[in-house]
Amino acid sequence: MEEKDLDFNNRIPLEDLKNAVDSIKHELRKVIVGQDQFVELLIVALLADGHVLIEGVPGIAKTITAKLFAKVLKTNFSRIQFTPDLMPSDVLGTSILNMKDSEFEFKPGPIFSNIVLIDEINRAPAKTQAALFETMEERQATIDGKTYKFEAPFMVLATQNPIEQEGTYALPEAQLDRFIFKIKVDYPSLEDEIKIIESHHKRQGKLPQTLIEPVLDTKSLEDYKAKTQAIVVEEKIIKYIAEIVSKTRNHPHLYLGGSPRASISILNTAKAFAAINGRDFVIPEDVKKAVDPVLNHRIILTPEREMEGMTTEQVIEMIVQSVEVPR
């Protein structure tokens, strides 16, 4: 049965949410060509209250997509370029002595924003990467024994280049697990590349940001996130998610499987996919769409399978095929 043929009465009003998502996609398509799946996953991660790791070679619009995504949301945006000499205080902020009253005054760092783009996250040393742990998980930072809460929404978009590994620090598994998705962005097709070149030519030097209009404010976003959390999930769907993740832990091709955090991430992602499609309940197809971006950075292949050229996506596909779909 096609999704569009389903007949149901929504218990949660989702028309405004669906329209807002369509408006975000429309605005971003003015500049971003051929990255519809990338954009949709960013929207889904936002509704699921997650952070995103974006992997791809330089020059394929990772950074500009993140910037424009922040602009359509009417939120504050900051960008941090990670480098080998970057210190935790450069990210979190520091206390400075105010000479007028001889008191220390906290100057917040660039992490105190709504949408935070971290360029080349694997270029900074482990100490600086670790400074992000609390901010990503708890939405707060503790500096000099004092805790500072972040304003909602708070979302980290981190990029990394899979090719140039010299002088980089691989993200530990504990930090990778903090990202709801790893989105792999590839080169555009020939048709899309032609459109990209034509679009750039027609702009005649205008900055992409000037073409994008904000469409969603913070209050509406928080309302949509609450509606997403309220999406109905039947017990058989929860069992389906658990079975998929459980199979990653004892699969012969995998050295490391998914954690319970992965199961919860699939649940939240499936809810968001249902919401953006105007449905107030999750179907198995929502789970299937969620599995790959949620799991591909959380599982590790055995050395033998890695040497054979197998990918995590292939193993995830095997596992999904092996689990019975609930009816």
User: CB-based burial of residue 276 (10 Å sphere; 0-12 exposed, 13-18 middle, 19+ buried)?
Assistant: buried
- What pLDDT, on the 0 to 100 scale, is given for residue 5? 43
With 80 as the cut, is the pLDDT of residue 85 above it? yes
Average pLDDT over residues 128-142: 87
Q: Which domains does the chain have, with CATH numbers?
A: 13-215 (3.40.50.300), 231-327 (1.10.8.80)
Question: For 71-91, what is the mean pLDDT?
Answer: 90
Helix ranges (H only) for 81-176 are 88-92, 126-138, 173-176
The predicted structure's pLDDT at residue 9: 54
The Cα 267–Cα 262 span in angstroms is 9
Q: How confident is the model at residue 56 (pLDDT cuts 50, 70, 90)?
A: confident
Mean pLDDT, residues 23-32: 90
Mean pLDDT across 30-49: 91
6 pLDDT tier (thresholds 50, 70, 90): very low
Average pLDDT over residues 239-252: 95
Greater pLDDT, 210 or 52: 52
Helix boundaries (H) for the chain: 15-29, 36-47, 62-72, 88-92, 126-138, 173-176, 190-203, 218-229, 235-248, 260-276, 284-295, 303-307, 312-322
Whole-number percent of the chain with pLDDT over 70: 96
Span 75-103, mean pLDDT?
87
Task: Give pTM, 2 decimals.
Answer: 0.88
Residue type, 186: D
Beta pairing, strands 77-81 & 51-55: unpaired
Dist CA 12 CA 179 (whole Å): 28
pLDDT at 3 over 60: no
Q: How far apart are CA 48 and CA 31, in angstroms?
A: 25
Q: Tokens 């939405």 correspond to what residue?
A: 139
Strands 300-301 and 140-143: unpaired
pLDDT at 164: 66
Structure tokens at 276: 């953006």
The mean pLDDT of 130-152, rounded to a whole number, is 87
Collapsed DSSP state (helix, strand, coil) of residue 42 = helix
Q: Residue 249 contacts by C-beta under 8 Å, 6 or more apart in sequence?
A: 257, 258
CA gap 42, 139 in Å, rounded: 18
pLDDT at 117 over 70: yes
Segments of 69-152 assigned E as strands: 77-81, 93-98, 103-108, 115-119, 140-143, 146-149
d(CA 90, CA 194): 40
Tell me the C-alpha distance between 210 and 190, whole Å: 27
The pLDDT, as a whole number, for residue 126 is 83
**Residue 2 in this model has a pLDDT that exceeds 80:** no
Find out whether 82 and 119 touch, Cβ atoms under 8 Å.
yes
Q: State residue 265's pLDDT score.
A: 96
Mean of pLDDT values over 21-31: 91
Token pair for 47: 């509704």
Q: Which of 98-102, 229-233, 282-286, 309-313 has the lowest mean pLDDT?
A: 98-102
Over residues 133-152, mean pLDDT? 87
Q: How do residues 257-290 score in pLDDT, each as one tens digit?
A: 999 999 999 999 999 999 999 999 999 999 999 9
User: Could you give the maximum distance between any two Cα atoms of the chain, in Å?
Assistant: 71
Q: List the structure tokens of 136.
A: 């990503």
Sign of CA dihedral 103, 104, 108, 109: positive
Higher pLDDT, 180 or 71: 180
State yes or no: pLDDT of 20 exceeds 70. yes
